[in-house]
Amino acid sequence: MSSSRREFRSSATAQIIHLHPDAPAKPGTGQACNGCGVCCAAEPCPLGVLVSGRRHGACKALLWSEAEGRYRCGMVSAPGQVLPWLPRVLHGPVRRGTLRWISAASGCDATLEVGDTLLG
């Protein structure tokens, strides 16, 4: 299986991130999230900073869903997998809080320019 490499450019820098080859293309700004994974693979959101313990690079909560053919925020889809120490009784509240914190259903706010390269 080949992997997909996507290059993102902001003002004067380029960043290469690796995504699943079946990941959907990044939607336009303001369009509904389609699980492309671009934003979370480029850098973690504020919650991702807490979860990942880092401010740069891919968020550790970014999970690929083979069944859905898209990326999901693990803090929504599988908080116990991302934070194994989290008591099961808190999974629901964490999911709901995460949806609010990441502003789910507000549309894509990643303004990254995307270029695709496939690696063999």
Indicate whether this model's pTM tops 0.85: no
Sign of CA dihedral 51, 57, 60, 64: positive
What does the mean pLDDT of the chain come to? Answer: 85
Who contacts 75 (Cβ-Cβ below 8 Å, separation ≥6)? 47, 51, 61, 82, 83, 94, 95, 98, 102
Digit-coded pLDDT (tens) for 16-60 = 888 999 999 999 888 999 999 999 999 999 999 999 898 988 999
What percent of the chain clears pLDDT 90, i.e. is strictly above it?
Answer: 56
Residue 1 confidence class, pLDDT cut points 50, 70, 90: very low
Is 8 or 31 the better-scoring residue by pLDDT? Answer: 31
